[in-house]
C-alpha cells in the first residue's frame, strides 16, 4: 500500500542521499510512474524532497545523505506521518516502519509525529453516500488532534468545546471523534462551522486507540440501521455496483442455484430496503421477507400510476 512505500522511500533516501525514480521503482517493485508520484507526494506534503535535474541527477533529501532526520522541521515530520499513519492500523509493516522512523526523529519532534501517525483512520466502506470534496475544516481539526488542543466550533447551531481524539476518512466523508461534556461524540466535519483551535490542553484517555474506537462506533451505527434484512438475488456482474451503493448494508451470502448471487440487504424498515432496490427493476429479485416484496409492489404500482405515458 502507498503509506509503507512513502516511509520506505524516505528511509532509502536517508541511506543513499539521492535516488532516481527508476532506482526507487526497482527497490520497491513498483512502476517508475508510481515511484515518481510517491516522490512528488512527499514533496507536496512539505517533506524536503527535491528533484535534481541533469546528468547524474535524481531526487534528494535536502542536506544530502543522513542517518537521522534532523533535517526535518516539525511540520514536515507531521506531514510525513499524516501521509503514512492511516495505513498503520492495517499493516504491521507500516507500524514497524513508523516505529523506526519515530526513533530516528529528534526528541522535540517525536511527540507530534506520533500524534500525527494516530490522527487519522481510513474506512473505505461508505454509508450510502460519497462526498464530492474534502471539507475545508479538516486541516483545522487535524491540527487540534495532533497538537492535543481543545477545539471550539459550531455544530447544528450549538457551540461546542471538545477534546478531539481523531479523524476518520470514511470514503471521503470525514468524521471527528471527540470527548465532550456530554460524553464521547462523533461529528461530521462538513457540518462543522467556525472551528478554532484553542490554547487549552485537550485530554486524551490513556491507551486510546482510534481504530478500535471507530470500529465500536460503526458497530453501534450498524445495529441501529440494520433492524431488518432482506434476501436478494442479483447477477454477479452487477454485484460490485450494489455493494458500492449500499456499503456495509450489502453482505454476500453465497451462490444461488441459478448462478446468481444471494446477498443480504439491511435497513431499519421494509420501506427503506424497497427504496434502495426499486431503481434496480428486474435486475434484482427479493426472495423475502414478504414485507419488502409488498413495499416494492406498492412503489411499483405508484410509479406506474403516476407516470403513465401521455
Say which CATH number the domain at 89 has.
1.10.10
Within a 10 A sphere around the Cβ of 46, how many other Cβ atoms? 17
Quick one: 143 and 107 in the same domain? no
Q: What is the pLDDT of residue 295?
A: 94
Q: Are residues 205 and 233 in the same domain?
A: no
Give the model confidence (pLDDT) of 69-89 as tens digits. Answer: 545 555 555 555 555 555 445
What CATH number is attached to the domain comprising 165? 2.30.30
In the DSSP assignment, the letter for residue 279 is T
Task: Please give the residue range of the domain that contains residue 51.
Answer: 2-117
Q: Is 257 exposed, middle or buried (0-12, 13-18, 19+ CB in 10 A)?
A: exposed
Q: Do 259 and 161 fall into the same domain?
A: no
Q: Are residues 216 and 234 in the same domain?
A: no
Same-domain check for residues 70 and 106: yes
Domain boundary (176, 207, 223) is at 223
Domain boundary among 195, 223, 251: 223
Examine the fold and report which residue of 78, 95, 117 is the final residue of a domain before the chain moves on.
Answer: 117
Q: What is the pLDDT of residues 235-287, one digit of tens each?
A: 999 999 998 888 878 889 999 889 899 999 988 889 999 999 999 999 999 99
Task: Tell whether 173 and 91 lie within a shared domain.
Answer: no
Residues 24, 68 within the same domain:
yes
- Confidence bin at 96 (pLDDT 50/70/90): low
Closest among 89, 159, 84 to 116, alpha carbons compared = 84
Number of domains in the chain: 3
The CA distances from residue 232 to 26, 91, 259, 282, in Å, are 47, 34, 13, 12
| Domain co-membership, 70 together with 158 | no
Same domain, 7 and 105: yes
Amino acid at each position: 500500500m502507498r503509506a509503507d512505500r512513502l516511509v520506505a522511500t524516505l528511509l532509502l533516501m536517508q541511506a543513499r542521499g539521492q535516488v532516481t525514480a527508476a532506482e526507487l521503482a526497482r527497490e520497491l517493485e513498483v512502476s517508475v510512474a508510481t515511484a515518481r508520484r510517491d516522490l512528488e507526494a512527499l514533496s507536496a506534503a512539505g517533506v524536503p524532497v527535491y528533484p535534481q535535474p541533469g546528468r547524474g541527477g535524481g531526487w534528494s533529501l535536502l542536506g544530502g545523505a543522513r542517518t537521522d532526520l534532523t533535517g526535518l522541521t516539525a511540520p514536515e515530520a507531521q506531514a510525513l506521518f499524516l501521509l503514512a499513519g492511516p495505513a498503520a492500523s492495517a499493516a504491521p509493516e507500516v507500524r514497524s516502519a513508523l516505529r523506526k522512523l519515530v526513533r530516528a526523529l529528534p526528541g522535540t519532534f517525536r511527540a507530534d509525529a506520533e500524534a500525527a501517525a494516530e490522527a487519522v483512520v481510513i474506512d473505505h466502506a461508505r454509508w450510502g453516500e460519497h462526498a464530492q470534496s474534502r471539507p475545508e475544516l479538516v486541516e483545522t481539526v487535524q491540527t487540534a488532534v495532533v497538537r492535543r488542543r481543545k477545539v471550539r466550533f459550531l455544530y447544528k447551531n450549538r457551540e461546542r468545546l471538545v477534546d478531539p481524539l481523531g479523524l476518520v476518512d470514511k470514503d471521503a466523508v470525514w468524521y471527528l471523534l471527540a470527548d465532550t461534556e456530554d460524553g464521547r461524540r462523533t461529528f461530521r466535519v462538513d457540518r462543522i462551522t467556525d472551528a478554532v483551535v484553542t490554547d487549552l490542553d485537550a485530554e486524551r484517555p490513556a491507551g486510546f486507540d482510534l481504530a478500535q474506537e471507530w470500529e465500536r462506533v460503526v458497530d453501534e451505527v450498524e445495529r441501529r440501521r440494520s433492524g431488518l434484512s432482506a434476501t436478494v438475488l442479483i447477477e454477479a456482474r452487477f454485484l460490485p455496483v450494489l455493494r458500492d451503493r449500499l456499503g456495509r448494508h450489502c453482505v454476500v451470502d453465497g451462490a444461488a442455484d441459478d448462478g446468481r448471487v444471494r446477498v443480504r440487504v439491511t435497513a431499519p424498515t421494509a420501506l427503506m430496503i424497497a427504496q434502495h432496490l426499486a431503481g434496480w427493476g428486474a435486475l434484482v429479485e427479493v426472495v423475502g421477507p414478504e414485507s419488502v416484496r409488498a413495499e416494492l409492489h406498492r412503489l411499483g404500482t405508484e410509479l406506474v400510476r403516476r407516470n403513465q405515458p401521455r
